[in-house]
């Protein structure tokens, strides 16, 4: 562009300059060394050209007091002739100018000046195009960042801010996200049912991002509402299944589904009777007082929301004084160990047997350490909910309760 401008005028120097409040900057130059390419707006000829309507011409700078302050006139290369056409966008913004300079005074033909104006118009069009493109990219980035912020906010609302205090029970939960940007669909809650019974659940909605977050919200509220209606754990999962199937009815998108465990806690002397139903979810793990690990597995329970006539199973066990129960999402057991194998339920059980956590807090700490040790081997979010009954709880007043919640 600048060499074309120089050729049209048979002049040695041509530049394209852009102005801001302070500076006139060269975007392209022909016949001018880079060190001379930037000048203060206050003294630059280019600044005058930008505000000028039409082509600005100084046939001899020595005869024009406006030009004498320009460093290119005063010093190197000693400009005597200057012609410039302003670069004006379609909405009237003056961005800079296309300039032609010579070191001897001269005249320009009207044809040369018209060509210079045409060149400036071409530059304006090009700059506008780039500006629009970069604005579009910026707007898109902004939208994306906004959506991610929204999804993260939504996710925070999906997890209870704090677990309630349940008399005689110690409960703790944690959420281990893999990425700060991408939202997973893990969820859990612990809440009062009728009488002195308590409901709890933990699960994982398929997919990631804002859609998964919205679905997680539906799942969480459906589980709580269904439990009010009929707290039988299998009935609660069947109810959730019906809601998800209806949510999908008529849609051609892949059907959303989730896996979950739902349980009811019933105080029973110095512990709790636990009824746990599962739908397509990995078994919960019970750490008994003596350190043995038992899988609490409603065997055969199927995915929720996607199957015809799904089967949900439930099992009953007892949470005795000194026992601790761990519910987790599959991000944990699908993690890869250093050897490259999946951790699996067996690996998790073996780890817990060695760590011998006695309380819900201990369990969470153990899982936290395990996830930290697995490092890059963890590729999916993990939510954990731990419930324990303090050992020797007969010595502790019944109304005393423990509760904690951490999010890492």
CA dihedral 348, 349, 351, 353 (to 10 degrees): 160
CA-angle at 90, arms to 87 and 94, nearest 5°: 35
- Helix, coil or strand: residue 240: helix
Name the minimum Å distance from CB 76 to other proteins: 58
Q: Which is nearer to other proteins, 301 or 357 (CB)?
A: 301
CB-CB contact of 148 with 181 (8 Å): yes
- Spatial separation of the C-alpha atoms in residues 129 and 125, rounded to whole Å: 6
- Per CB under 8 A, 254 contacts other proteins: yes
- Spatial separation of the C-alpha atoms in residues 56 and 37, rounded to whole Å: 19
- Per CB under 8 A, 331 contacts other proteins: no
Q: Which is nearer to other proteins, 60 or 344 (CB)?
A: 344
Other beta carbons less than 10 A from residue 32's beta carbon: 21
| Token code pair at residue 226 | 């269904």
Q: 327: which strand partners?
A: 385
Selected from 282, 331, 357, 390, the binder of other proteins by CB under 8 A is: 282
- Per CB under 8 A, 280 contacts other proteins: yes
Which string of x and - marks every residue 213-252 that binds other proteins (by CB under 8 A)?
A: ----------------------------------------
Name the minimum Å distance from CB 293 to other proteins: 17
Selected from 281, 323, 357, 387, the binder of other proteins by CB under 8 A is: 281
Residues 288-327 contacting other proteins, CB under 8 A: 300-303, 306-308, 310-311
Selected from 64, 232, 247, 344, the binder of other proteins by CB under 8 A is: 344
Q: Which is nearer to other proteins, 211 or 294 (CB)?
A: 211
First to last CA, the chain: 56
- Per CB under 8 A, 86 contacts other proteins: no
- Helix, coil or strand: residue 325: strand
Q: Which residues contact 280 (CB under 8 A, 6 or more apart)?
A: 257, 258, 259, 260, 301, 302, 303, 304
| Token code pair at residue 260 | 């979950």
Name the minimum Å distance from CB 307 to other proteins: 7
Q: Which residues contact 93 (CB under 8 A, 6 or more apart)?
A: none
Name the minimum Å distance from CB 146 to other proteins: 23
- Per CB under 8 A, 390 contacts other proteins: no
Selected from 177, 207, 267, 390, the binder of other proteins by CB under 8 A is: 207
- Per CB under 8 A, 209 contacts other proteins: no
Selected from 259, 382, 388, 393, the binder of other proteins by CB under 8 A is: 259
Name the minimum Å distance from CB 301 to other proteins: 6
- Spatial separation of the C-alpha atoms in residues 212 and 185, rounded to whole Å: 5
Q: Which is nearer to other proteins, 306 or 384 (CB)?
A: 306
Name the minimum Å distance from CB 279 to other proteins: 7
Q: Which is nearer to other proteins, 306 or 386 (CB)?
A: 306
- Per CB under 8 A, 37 contacts other proteins: no
- Measure Cα distances from 205 to 167, 181, 361 in Å: 30, 17, 26
Name the minimum Å distance from CB 254 to other proteins: 4
- Helix, coil or strand: residue 353: helix
- Per CB under 8 A, 330 contacts other proteins: yes
CB-CB contact of 215 with 224 (8 Å): no
- Per CB under 8 A, 203 contacts other proteins: no
CA-angle at 250, arms to 246 and 255, nearest 5°: 65
Which string of x and - marks every residue 122-151 that binds other proteins (by CB under 8 A)?
A: ------------------------------
Name the minimum Å distance from CB 330 to other proteins: 7
Provide the angle, in degrees to the nearest 10, between the axes of the packed helices 110-158 and 209-229. Answer: 20
Q: Which is nearer to other proteins, 46 or 207 (CB)?
A: 207
Q: Which of 94, 64, 95 is nearest to 79 (CA)?
A: 64
CA 225 to chain CA mean position, Å: 30
Please count the residues of this chain forming the interface with other proteins, following the rule CB under 8 A: 23
Q: State residue 24 phi and psi, 5-degree precision.
A: -110, 120
Chain positions contacting other proteins, by CB under 8 A: 206-207, 254-255, 257, 259, 279-282, 300-303, 306-308, 310-311, 330, 334, 342, 344
């Amino acid at each position: 562009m600048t060499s074309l401008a120089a050729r049209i005028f048979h002049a040695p120097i041509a530049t394209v300059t852009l102005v801001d409040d302070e500076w006139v900057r060269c975007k392209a130059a022909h016949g001018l060394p880079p060190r001379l390419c930037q000048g203060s707006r206050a003294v630059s000829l280019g600044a005058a050209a930008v505000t000028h309507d039409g082509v600005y011409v100084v046939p001899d700078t020595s005869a024009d007091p406006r030009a004498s302050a320009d460093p290119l006139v005063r010093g190197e290369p000693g400009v005597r002739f200057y012609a410039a056409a302003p670069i004006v966008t379609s909405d009237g913004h003056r961005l800079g100018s296309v300039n032609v300079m010579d070191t001897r005074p001269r005249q320009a033909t009207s044809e040369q000046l018209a060509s210079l104006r045409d060149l400036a118009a071409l530059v304006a069009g090009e700059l506008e195009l780039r500006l629009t493109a970069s604005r579009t990219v910026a707007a898109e980035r902004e939208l994306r960042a906004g959506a991610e912020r929204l999804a993260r906010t939504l996710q925070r609302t999906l997890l209870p801010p704090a677990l309630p205090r349940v008399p005689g029970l110690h409960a703790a939960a944690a959420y281990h996200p893999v990425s700060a940007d991408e939202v997973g669909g893990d969820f859990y809650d612990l809440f009062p049912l009728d009488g002195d019974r308590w409901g709890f659940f933990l699960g994982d909605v398929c997919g990631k991002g804002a859609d998964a977050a919205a679905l997680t919200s539906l799942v969480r509220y459906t589980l709580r509402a269904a439990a009010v209606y009929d707290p039988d754990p299998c009935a609660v999962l069947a109810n959730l299944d019906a809601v998800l199937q209806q949510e999908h009815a008529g849609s051609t998108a892949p059907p959303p589904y989730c896996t979950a465990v739902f349980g009811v806690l019933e105080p029973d002397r110095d512990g709790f009777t636990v009824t746990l139903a599962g739908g397509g979810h990995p078994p919960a793990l019970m750490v008994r007082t003596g350190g043995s690990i038992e899988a609490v597995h409603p065997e055969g329970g199927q995915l929720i929301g996607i199957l015809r006539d799904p089967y949900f199973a439930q099992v009953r066990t007892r949470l005795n004084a000194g026992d601790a129960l761990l519910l987790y999402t599959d991000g944990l057991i699908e993690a890869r160990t250093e050897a490259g194998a999946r951790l699996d339920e067996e690996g998790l059980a073996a780890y817990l047997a060695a760590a011998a956590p006695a309380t819900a807090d201990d369990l969470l700490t153990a899982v936290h350490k395990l996830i930290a040790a697995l490092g890059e081997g963890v590729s999916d979010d993990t939510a954990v909910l731990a419930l324990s009954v303090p050992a020797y709880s007969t010595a502790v007043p019944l109304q005393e309760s423990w509760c904690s919640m951490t999010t890492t």
